[in-house]
């Protein structure tokens, strides 16, 4: 056990020393490591020395390559131009500083870079066109110029059929749309016609009812002249009162009375309560009479059995 304890203590010491050495190595900077490697204090293996690249400026070889690549051809065959960008007219008109003059060209700015390329191409075109005209080279395509198509006739025929199919589909959709709109308009007109018919029918029924009640004496609504019926048939209330009730109204008044209040017609009033002219004490509360209180006179009393036998014998 004592031997094992000693071994464990040795392992712990070694681990602590290892951690300390690693911390010391981590604390070393790159410059110190490079100095140690140059002095030979570091062991080779993980550290590989970097070889410095030799920069060679071989002017003679470059000139030789240029002479091999260069062909002494006229400018018309080469069409090469080296030019600065065209002046920025918009910036000058707006009063803004031009980037080339101030030297503030930012290569990371996409818009500024693309505008620089655009103006450089514009300057090249402005320089090349007069030279081509001077050499009597046409720069515009003639009107009767027919170039060879990049696509074959079969491919163009397929494209033409696709375009025609798309056009026909669009025409069909437009036609269907117009038909739907016409159907909607037809339904709207149909509903309006039905509403007019219902309105005319209702007006005719009201005119018939007015004629039946005696409110009018004209039969123009039977001829379909509903507008005249609306204006002239119906009489105002003062005119109806002056004319008096109709024959139908008179007959109903004669048969059923003159109308008036129906509900509560049998209720007592102050006048009827005070009026005692119709009171008879003889018959009040069932008193009086020869039958006594509460008795009713029996009429047509049937005789008994014996009396009926005697009456029968007498008749014999």
CA distance 201 to 207: 10
DSSP structure class, residue 230: I
pLDDT in tens, 127-149: 999 999 999 898 888 888 777 77
Query: Given the structure tokens 């490591």, which residue do they identify?
Result: 33
CA distance 122 to 114: 12
**What's the predicted TM-score (pTM) here?**
0.30
Closest CA to 227 of 199, 268, 259: 199
Is 197 in a helix, a strand, or coil? helix
| Other beta carbons less than 10 A from residue 102's beta carbon | 8
In 106-245, which ranges are continuous DSSP H helix?
110-134, 153-212, 226-228, 237-243
Q: Which two tokens stand for residue 243?
A: 């004319």
CA distance 138 to 145: 13
Q: Which two tokens stand for residue 254?
A: 């004669």
- Give pLDDT, residue 62: 92
pLDDT in tens, 178-205: 888 888 888 888 888 998 999 888 888 8
Report whether 248 contacts 214 (CB < 8 A). Answer: yes
pLDDT in tens, 260-295: 666 777 788 888 888 888 777 777 766 555 555 555
């Amino acid at each position: 056990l004592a031997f094992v304890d000693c071994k464990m203590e040795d392992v712990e010491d070694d681990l602590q020393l290892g951690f300390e050495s690693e911390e010391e190595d981590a604390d070393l900077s790159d410059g110190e490591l490079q100095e140690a490697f140059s002095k030979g204090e570091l062991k080779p293996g993980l550290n590989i020395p970097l070889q410095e690249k030799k920069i060679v400026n071989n002017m003679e070889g470059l000139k030789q390559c240029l002479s091999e690549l260069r062909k002494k051809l006229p400018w018309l065959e080469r069409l090469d131009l080296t030019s600065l960008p065209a002046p920025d007219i918009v910036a000058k008109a707006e009063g803004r500083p031009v980037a080339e003059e101030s030297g503030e060209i930012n290569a990371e700015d996409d818009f500024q870079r693309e505008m620089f390329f655009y103006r450089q191409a514009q300057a090249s075109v402005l320089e090349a066109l007069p030279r081509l005209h001077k050499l009597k080279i046409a720069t515009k395509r003639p009107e009767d110029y027919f170039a060879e198509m990049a696509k074959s006739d079969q491919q163009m025929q397929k494209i033409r059929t696709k375009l025609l199919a798309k056009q026909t589909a669009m025409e069909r959709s437009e036609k269907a749309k117009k038909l739907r709109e016409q159907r909607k308009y037809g339904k709207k007109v149909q509903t309006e016609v039905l509403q007019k018919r219902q309105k005319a029918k209702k007006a005719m029924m009201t005119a018939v009812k007015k004629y039946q009640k005696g409110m009018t004496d004209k039969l123009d609504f039977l001829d379909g002249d509903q507008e005249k019926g609306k204006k002239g048939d119906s009489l105002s209330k003062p005119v109806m009162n002056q004319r008096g009730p109709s024959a139908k109204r008179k007959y109903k008044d004669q048969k059923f009375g003159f109308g008036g209040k129906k509900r509560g017609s049998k209720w007592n009033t102050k006048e009827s309560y005070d009026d005692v002219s119709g009171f008879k004490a003889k018959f009040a509360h069932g008193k009086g009479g020869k039958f006594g209180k509460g008795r009713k006179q029996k009429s047509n009393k049937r005789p008994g059995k014996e009396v009926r036998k005697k009456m029968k014998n007498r008749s014999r």
